[in-house]
Chains A and B, each alone.
Chain A
């Protein structure tokens, strides 16, 4: 079933690219449209991953897979969504500094709970017992099909983002991001729009976290590092925070370059892949954020089409 040229390593790299793409698209709604500074993406992704893991492993369900997976993933998304609702309520009326503190604080809280709640999460030792909810043959075949399923989920997120851009709700989010007090003074429900956006997008981040947990089959607090937030943010900023396809293009250029091209096709010494390349990846991502925002703040794809049109019409 799996094409011969697709190695297990490449499937894993492609999975990472697709998953980060999904996170970047969701971050686009929060940061690109509504200008909510979410520096705690990993918190929402991680709470979904751990909620799924705990529900899947610790609860004795009366039914097996695939229903067990579907129920646990749905509940994990609800948990992440509720967390998003709470954090959204906390930070929606704060300025950027407060949003940074709130989201960073939430991500730290999730990391602390994953580490300290040993009975539930296994603590620093981690938690196993997760598996792909079907068996179509070899491990490679199962993982390839899982990659296809995650790609379908991320494609659905892309479609949703594309529709939001063309809907009154999307225009409301753009107004909130552009000038919140003005939108509020015109009677727009900006607070409500922001917290629902945060809840929904956080729930979807949680679903992606649950799907990642299934792919890696073992959860440990090391998964909850800042690199998840960084990868999504770099992809979005590099591609263009204002554009629907920004996250997609940016993640291909950043995560794709490292996790697929360098990891699979460059003939580098084997020992480089354990420490040097991952460290270089993060350092380069950090540098990309600085360079892009200084030299091309709108990213590779540039401004929204509607803004480009307005500039052409007004000659600015």
Chain B
């Protein structure tokens, strides 16, 4: 019982930002069908933006979340307008679009080192207190991160599922031509989606960054897990992403406790997810898109 409790508490607290990042990623994936590798850099830059605002202006971590999210969202929109939209207008193929996003990811990852410097950076935050949850010690900071991620995820879920703009987003993702005939402006809605996805990724990055360190590979190290969560959970919509994302976090924590090595847990999860991918074949990604 202790093992289960520990796995659930640690999984929820350590991997909560993964769920937020996956929700942002799946919005783009469902709308465009594009695996945007550069999304990993949206996460990284969210962490860097937050760290920069925190250390340069002396702002509290929670005060930097909003501007860091906005900056990551603006960057996400800029990449769409400057790169992905022109590429789509030129009828660039699916494989080439992924390679472009891979190139953009590399460009941003190494380009940001010229701006923020080469060393690993840290947020300037006071040392967190330890709070006991079901007998498991969790830092107050991670607990607040879980609550924030839960609220943000629910807000995003509500926005996409309940609001009229959310309806437009889902309509555009299902059938662009039909949505256009219905009076939906594809450009405005698409820009909105890239912005929301960027905000979600940036906030996830800020949470990841403050919990450990801010480094150029921060987002890339999470990318494969996010991708797997989206491809497996995306079939059941946003709810599926949240369930699979939370399940992934708990499974990672449980396996880390079992093996005593976080990398083994990641390896096991990669094997399981790729096996699911193989078993479900082409249907998987097709369902994820529509």
* CB atoms of B263 and A283 under 8 A apart: no
Min CB gap A96→B, angstroms: 5
Residues in chain B near residue A96, CB distance under 8 A: 35, 94-95, 98
Chain A 106-117 per-residue mask, 1 if CB under 8 angstroms from chain B, else 0: 001100110110
Contact of B83 with A290 in the complex, beta carbons under 8 Å = yes
Q: A186 an interface residue at 8 Å Cβ cutoff?
A: no
Interface string of A79-115 (1 = CB under 8 A from B): 0000000000010011111101110110011001101
Question: Is B267 on the interface with A (CB-CB < 8 A)?
Answer: yes
Q: Does A310 contact B (CB under 8 A)?
A: no
What are the interface flags for A97-141 relative to B under an 8 Å C-beta threshold, 1 for contact and 0 otherwise? 110111011001100110110000000000000000000000000
Residue of B nearest to A116 (CB): B263
Closest chain B residue to A110 by CB distance? B267
Task: Give per-residue flags for A278-292: 1 if the beta carbon is below 8 A from chain B beta carbons, else 0.
Answer: 011011011111100
Partner of B277, one of A101, A233, A275: A101
Question: Count the A residues whose beta carbon is within 8 Å of the partner chain — how many?
Answer: 41
Please determine whether A97 and B274 come into contact, CB atoms closer than 8 angstroms.
no
Contact with A along B253-290 (1 / 0, CB 8 A): 00000000101101100110110011001101100100
Q: Are A286 and B277 in contact (CB under 8 A)?
A: no
B264 (CB) vs chain A CBs: closest residue: A116
Interface assignment of B103: CB less than 8 Å from any CB of chain A: yes
Please, which residues of chain B bring their CB within 8 A of the CB of A294?
Answer: 83, 86-87, 90, 92, 100
A233 to B111, CA, bound (A): 19
> Are B103 and A290 closer than 8 Å at their CB atoms?
yes
Against A, the Cβ 8 Å flags (1 = close, 0 = not) of B85-121 are 0110010101110111011111111110110001000
A267 to B105, CA, bound (A): 30
Instruction: Tell me whether B96 and A293 are in contact (CB under 8 A).
Output: yes
Q: B285 contacts A94, CB within 8 Å? A: yes
Contact status B118-A230, CB under 8 Å? no
Given A90-B274, A97-B35, A102-B277, residue A283 in contact with residue B99 (CB < 8 A): no
In angstroms, Cα B288 to Cα A93, docked, is 17
Give Cα distance in the complex from A283 to B109, angstroms. Answer: 8
Partner of B118, one of A100, A234, A279: A279
Which A residues touch B49, using CB under 8 A?
none
Instruction: Give chain A nearest CB distance to B35 CB in angstroms.
Output: 5
Task: Determine whether the beta carbon of A113 is less than 8 Å from that of B98.
Answer: no
Closest CB in chain A relative to B281 CB, distance in Å? 6
What separation, in Å, do the CA atoms of A283 and B96 have in the docked complex?
A: 18
Please, which residues of chain A bring their CB within 8 A of the CB of B98?
37, 39, 96-97, 100
Which one of B90, B264, B278 has the greatest number of beta carbons of chain A within 10 Å? B278
Asked if A35 is an interface residue, CB under 8 A from chain B, the answer is yes
Contact among B94, B109, B270 with A108 in the assembled complex (CB-CB below 8 Å): B270
Q: Which residues of A contact B271 (CB under 8 A)?
A: 109
* Alpha-carbon separation in the docked complex, A287 to B261 (Å): 36
Q: Which residues of B contact A115 (CB under 8 A)?
A: 263
Q: Are A233 and B102 in contact (CB under 8 A)?
A: yes
Residues of A within 8 A of B (CB): 31, 35, 37, 39, 90, 93-98, 100-102, 104-105, 108-109, 112-113, 115-116, 226, 230, 233-234, 237, 275, 279-280, 282-283, 285-290, 293-294, 297
The 7 closest A-B CB pairs, nearest first, are A289-B103, A286-B106, A286-B107, A283-B110, A282-B110, A290-B103, A286-B103
Task: Name B residues whose Cβ lies closer than 8 Å to a Cβ of A.
Answer: 35, 37, 83, 86-87, 90, 92, 94-96, 98-100, 102-111, 113-114, 118, 220, 224, 227-228, 231, 261, 263-264, 266-267, 270-271, 273-274, 277-278, 281-282, 284-285, 288
Q: Could you pull out 26 A-B pairs where Cβ atoms are within 8 angstroms?
A: A39-B102, A94-B282, A95-B285, A97-B231, A98-B282, A101-B274, A101-B277, A102-B277, A108-B224, A112-B267, A226-B220, A230-B106, A233-B99, A275-B118, A279-B110, A280-B110, A282-B110, A283-B110, A283-B114, A285-B103, A286-B105, A286-B107, A286-B110, A293-B103, A294-B87, A297-B92
